[in-house]
Every structure is written in C-alpha cells, then in structure tokens.
C-alpha cells in the first residue's frame, strides 16, 4: 500500500487536517518504531522508548512556545471536555491550598465551549459564575466580546479562585485578540482553553496559570490534551488536604486527572496513548522545521486575510456574524443571505474537492477551519470557489 496521497483541501473543525509528511512518518512508525521490531503503539508506556517520546514532545513544545521554567508541561488522556472538569477541581483545590478558601471560579462566556465549561463546573458543584455572557451584549447571540469596562470591576468584587476563557470558540468563530488587561494586571490565575489556536500565534506563556489544548484540532489526533501549568499551582494543589477539601465541599479530582500526580509520573501514571503523543511530537517538529511559530503565524494571518477579504467583498450575499475585532483566524464562520443555496454551495465545493465546510449543527451555515496544516494553496482554492459561487448566484 502506498503512503502517498493527493493533498486534501479539508477545512473540518476537528478531528482536523494533519501534514501528510507527519502521517507518512507516523504510519511507518506504527509498524516499526526506530528499528526495534515493534510499532510505536505496542511499546510499554513506561519503557525507555516511550519516555523518550514524552520528553521529546515536552522539549519541542517548550522550544516552540518559549515556555518559562516557572511552568510545567504534561499530557493527559481525553479532550477539552475532560479538561473542563479537571481544570475546575484542580484549580479550586489549588486555591484552597494557597488561601484556605475555595473561592469562586469566574468564566468569560464568548461561545458554546466556554458555556459548556461553566456548565461542567456547576454540575460538579464547584462554586462558579459567569463574569459575563457575550450574548447579553449582542442581541442574544454570540459573535462579539464585550468591552472590559462592562465587566472588569466584577473581578474585584470577590475572591476568585481563577478566571477561565476559551481563546478561540470553534463553533461561533470568536477569538480573543489578546488576553484582557483586567486579568493580566490582576493576581487571579488565568485558565485558558487554546484547543483551536494552540501554536497558531505567539503568546506570552508566563501570563497564564494554566493552558489546556485538546490535540485533535491543531496539533494531532484525538485522545490527548496538553497542559502547561504554573509549578506554584501544582504545589498549591498538593498543599490542600483531602479532608479539608471535603469539609469545604470541593469535589475531589480523580487521581488519574490530578495534576501533581500526572506530573510526578511524567504523564504516565496510567497508560498514555503513546502513538497519539508521537503524532503530536511529529507535528511539533514539523512546525520547528518551518521556522517555528513566527513563520506559522505569518501563514495563518495570510490565510485569514485572504478568506475574510473575499467574503467581505460580497456583503449582500454573505453574512459574517462575528465582529471584525474578534474574528477567529482559525475558524471562519459565515452564512448565505439568499435562501435555498446551502446545499448547492456544499455540493459545488465538494465537486472541487473542497470538503469539511458544513457549519456546526447548532448554528448551521458554513465554517472553514484554517488550522496550521491547511495550506495557503488550499485557502486560495477556497477563495476562488467563493468568488465564483457569489458571482454566479448573487
């Protein structure tokens, strides 16, 4: 069987496109990893070879993101939804360990994923609240981020254990252009979901308490999530006795998802899917070879510019529901103003081998996810199709 393939023009939101050369190497390693006679998915997660994969992925991530020595890197099974619960319980425990109080978790709701994160914290019984819901500032719909002046004073009103935000809302196409000053200039721990924009642009990791990113959108296969966490938070979690957490009514984190336990065991407390992590590491190496995040960011900005400029050329034909100051560079969402053409748009795209463009079932319309692995050439093909479809049907 050949490992060659025609380069796909795939814009799915996740699981998403991966570089062909990464998949080709992964396919070879799945059969025989570095000549040891076993595939990468067959080796023990505590073997020397597996440890090398873990250490390599951590080192390459540190290099790409310039992660300071104040922060630890680790990997856990699951995805963003698993992260919603582990973040809530671990960060609440950390606040107990640091202050003796469980505090209140604050959530900035800019789309469905941050909303789901808050719902999970509430379901677990963590004391939490929305600092704002963007729908309240945008006629009942997601698509804009309210000004800091509308909510910044609230974070001074009580003892917040952490504040959570989703930097890129995959469904609604909303992206924080930068961290809000109200948070970076406070002492509150910033907890961020970067599943859709991890490694897409340069960020200052030192400003974050915890970064979580599910792999399947921008850096690998489904099944693993990477975490970058302040070492002081790990110490605070360990300083919170279980009997104190129970007395305060704080949910106890399952041991396989307790951050200090995972870090102490180098991400291998339980059986880490080492093949999945190896794919992540291959992606990290691929980005390094391209010139790192600065080079990748330049590509991503060009792709987003090409796509948005084309859609904006036809304001009577395309509707772009997201405010220009917070449009996602990873997930471009749009609808047609003319009824009855949605199926034609998707079919015409498929005829040109442009796939993965159907919008999320909760919002409809269309979504072009232009993650790191989507090439400029693929984006140009999509832009040309949009031009042709609008010209023909306007």
User: Which CA distances in Å does 193 have to 35, 87, 186, 302, 335?
Assistant: 37, 10, 19, 24, 26
25 HSE (CA, 13 A, CB side):
14
The answer to whether the CB of 192 falls within 8 A of the CB of 94 is no
The residues near 312 (Cβ < 8 Å, ≥ 6 apart) are 318, 320
Task: Give the active site residue among 29, 127, 193, 281.
Answer: 193
Distance of CA 347 to the CA centre of its chain: 29
Cα–Cα distance for residue pair 258/248, rounded to 1 Å: 18
Which H/E stretch holds residue 312? helix 292-312
Q: Are 182 and 155 in contact (CB under 8 A)?
A: yes
What's the rounded Cα separation, in Å, for the pair 12 and 369? 6
CA gap 136, 48 in Å, rounded: 53
Q: Considering the candidates 29, 58, 102, 217, report the single residue annotated as catalytic.
A: 217
Beta strand 224-230 with 318-319 is: unpaired
**C-beta of residue 165 within 8 angstroms of C-beta of residue 193:** yes
Per-residue buried b or exposed e for 138-166, using 16+ beta carbons within 10 Å of the residue's own CB: beeebbbbbeeeebbeebeeeebbbbbbb
Q: Establish whether 193 is a catalytic residue.
A: yes
Q: 380 an active-site residue? A: no
Token pair, residue 342, equals: 């949605």
In angstroms, rounded to a whole number, what is the distance separating the alpha carbons of residues 242 and 260? 14
Q: Let me know if 113 is a catalytic residue.
A: yes
168/182 Cα distance (integer angstroms): 19
CA dihedral 268, 272, 277, 278 (to 10 degrees): 90
Q: Which of 29, 58, 102, 113 is catalytic?
A: 113
Cite the active site residues: 113, 193, 217
């Amino acid at each position: 069987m050949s490992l060659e393939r025609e380069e796909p023009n795939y814009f799915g939101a996740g699981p998403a496109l991966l570089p062909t050369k990464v998949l080709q190497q992964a396919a070879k390693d799945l059969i025989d990893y570095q000549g040891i006679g076993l595939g990468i998915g067959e080796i023990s997660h505590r073997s020397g070879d597996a440890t090398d994969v873990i250490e390599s992925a951590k080192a390459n991530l540190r290099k790409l993101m310039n992660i300071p020595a104040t922060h630890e890197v680790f990997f856990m099974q699951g995805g963003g939804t698993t992260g919603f619960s582990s973040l809530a319980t671990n960060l609440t425990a950390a606040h107990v360990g640091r202050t003796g109080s469980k505090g209140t978790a604050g959530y900035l709701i800019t789309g469905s994923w941050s909303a789901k994160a808050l719902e999970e914290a509430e379901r677990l019984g963590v004391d939490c609240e929305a600092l704002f819901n963007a729908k309240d500032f945008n006629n009942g719909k997601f698509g804009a981020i309210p000004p800091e002046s509308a909510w910044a004073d609230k974070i001074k009103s009580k003892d917040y254990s952490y504040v959570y935000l989703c930097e890129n809302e995959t469904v609604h196409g909303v992206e924080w252009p930068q961290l809000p000053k109200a948070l970076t200039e406070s002492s509150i721990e910033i907890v961020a979901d970067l599943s859709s924009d991890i490694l897409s642009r340069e960020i200052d990791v030192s400003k974050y308490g915890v970064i979580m990113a599910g792999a399947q959108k921008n850096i690998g296969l489904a099944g693993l999530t990477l975490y970058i966490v302040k070492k002081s938070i790990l110490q605070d979690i360990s300083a919170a006795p279980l009997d104190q957490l129970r007395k305060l009514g704080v949910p106890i984190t399952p041991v396989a998802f307790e951050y200090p336990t995972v870090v102490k065991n180098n991400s291998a407390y339980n059986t880490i899917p080492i093949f999945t992590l190896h794919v992540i590491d291959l992606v990290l190496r691929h980005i390094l070879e391209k010139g790192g995040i600065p080079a990748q960011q330049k590509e991503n900005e060009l792709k987003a510019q090409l796509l948005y400029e084309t859609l904006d050329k036809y304001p009577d034909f395309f509707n772009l529901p997201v405010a220009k100051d917070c449009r996602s560079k990873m997930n471009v969402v749009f609808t047609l103003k003319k009824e009855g053409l949605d199926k034609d748009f998707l079919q015409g795209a498929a005829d040109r081998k442009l796939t993965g463009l159907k919008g999320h079932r909760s919002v409809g319309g269309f979504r072009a996810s232009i993650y790191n692995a989507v090439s400029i050439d693929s984006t140009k093909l999509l832009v040309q199709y949009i031009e042709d479809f609008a010209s023909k049907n306007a």
